[in-house]
Amino acid sequence: MLEAITALWTGNGDVTYAGRHIAFEQVAAIHPQQTPHPPIWVGGNSESALRRAVRYGTAWHSINQSIGMLRDRWLPALRAEAERAGKPTPTFAPRIRLHITAEANFDAARVPGSGSLAQVHDDLGGLEALGAEYVVLNWYTGDLDATREHERGFAMLATVAYRVVELVRVRVR
């Protein structure tokens, strides 16, 4: 699918494509303004996701992985895959589940983005130290009914944003 989309975005005139799962003939496509095309973020925590990220993507979008797993397993595997393919390593752009709590979370299974504001701030610093250029903050908890109520999520985003602005001001002084 990613190969087909890229063919549509970059083809001249009517595009014909025949792949393993999709085929079309002489399809007219609207070309994006970004050259050669918009960034493609490939998500997933698997070897095949890493291969797709290297082959088609401009970023690897890991999902809710611990900093230790990212540092010790996934990022080395991503770099190795890029080296095997003779391609640049995609940008690291993780997604974390934002869940700020009043008290620190010392659970061994805690993932970045969950816990006290100080822990979340440290998590963001840890991801930055691993080379993250972007971090997507997601407050979806798996409860579909909760997705109708965005106030808590917006409040958490505002809290994180305010904290980041405070820290930038301190660095500038």
Distance CA 150, CA 142 (A): 14
* pLDDT greater at residue 154 or residue 39: 39
Q: Cα Rg for the chain, rounded, in angstroms?
A: 19
Which pLDDT does position 105 carry in this prediction?
Answer: 92
- Structural domain boundaries of the chain? 1-38, 39-172
For 5-41, write each residue's pLDDT tens digit.
999 999 888 999 999 999 999 999 888 888 888 999 9
Residues 6+ apart with CB under 8 A from 86: none
Q: How many CB atoms lie within 10 A of CB 138?
A: 15
The CATH code of domain 39-172 reads 3.20.20.30
Average pLDDT over residues 76-81: 98
Which pLDDT does position 39 carry in this prediction?
Answer: 92
Question: What DSSP element (H or E) covers 99?
Answer: strand 99-100
Q: Which position has the token pair 């009517």?
A: 14
Which pLDDT does position 169 carry in this prediction?
Answer: 59
Predicted structure pTM score: 0.82
Which pLDDT does position 154 carry in this prediction?
Answer: 82
Most confidently modeled of 1-5, 28-32, 76-80, 97-101?
76-80
